[in-house]
Amino acid sequence: MDTQITLRVDGAAQPLTVDTRTTLLDALRERLRNTSPKKGCDHGQCGACTVLLDGRRVNSCLVLAVTVGDAEVTTSDGLAEGGRPHALHRSFVEHDAFQCGYCTPGQVCSAAGVLAEARAGWPSAVTADLAAGDVELSDAEIRERMSGNLCRCAAYANIVPAVAAVAESSGVRR
């Protein structure tokens, strides 16, 4: 059954008709031609399709497009400000935090989510004091929080410093 929806993607309203079983990833890539999120596993296990939904990280292959409603969908492309690369984009380049680049948009969106979570004081599985309310974004915290994003080229050694550099420059406690 087809349904008319409007997705707000990277700041622009995008009306489209989708089958109710269409994932957000397929709506973005196949219907809106937004190739920033990638289809890796299509099972929510690799993170290549990570986007921000109202600022929170989601695997877009697991979200039905019809459930998004009025939420703002932000892809890696949408993080750029005024045509200029986002600080995370620049840091990934400066730290050589990618090789083939396939997973990079998902990694960047996930990193943006990690920084927002840390600013909000949300603990992770490795946070020492769950009641502290202030999260120190150590390398272990970054690794844990980024663990849902796989890189088949093994650029992990450079991804953590890339995220850490942006955390430091944006006032997130390190």
CA distance 27 to 81: 24
pLDDT band at 172 (very low <50, low <70, confident <90, very high): confident
Please name the residue ranges forming H helices in 73-138: 76-79, 87-94, 104-120
Record: fold of 2-79: Ubiquitin-like (UB roll) (3.10.20)
Q: Burial, 31: exposed, middle or buried (Cβ in 10 Å; 0-12, 13-18, 19+)?
A: middle
Q: Which CATH architecture has domain 87-170?
A: Orthogonal Bundle (1.10)
The pTM score is 0.93
pLDDT tens-digit map of 119-141: 999 999 999 888 877 888 999 99
Q: Where are the domains of the chain?
A: 2-79, 87-170
